[in-house]
Amino acid sequence: MKQIFLLLAFFACLVPIYCGKVRPDGAHSIVLTSTNAGDLADYNFTMTLDTELPAGGVIEITFPYNQYLAGLGLPSSFVVYAPYPTVITTTLDTTTATTLICQVGHRAANTSFTIGVLNVRNPSKTGGTGNFKVSFLAFMSINPF
């Protein structure tokens, strides 16, 4: 029984929580270097957060489902900036293959910043692609002892 409690307590230390809202910032909160179908483009997402993001938190950017290639057409060693020229650690969620998990470090509330994703393959169809989803998570640390 004690081992089960300790195991549950360990997992509780890693519980992700949604921290608040991400708001697009500016008239053009998503800017692409190319809008041509099938082209490689750099995607720049400019946003503000309504609450502070702690250093261990992440920003998740989900591209519209069924519009982009699996893996977003990114090369195996892709580059993400937040903000330029700071390269950040980013992983591609293998479950969705269209969600980037960006470790942007500490971000103050109501302060604009941009995440730049290089070399995304644009959808092969012209026209609108759907909505992007941007959210942020922090990892709540619970000390049960």
56-95 per-position pLDDT tens digit: 889 999 999 889 998 999 998 999 999 999 999 999 998 9
Give the C-alpha separation, 125 to 119, whole Å. 17
- pLDDT, one tens digit per residue, over 104-128 is 999 999 999 999 999 999 999 877 6
Q: Is the pLDDT of residue 42 over 80?
A: yes
- The pTM of this model reads 0.82
8 Å CB contact between 136 and 106: no
Higher confidence at residue 142 or residue 104?
A: 104
The listed CATH number (2.60.40.1170, 3.90.870.20, 3.30.499.10, 3.40.50.2020) that belongs to domain 16-140: 2.60.40.1170
Q: Domains of the chain: which residue ranges?
A: 16-140
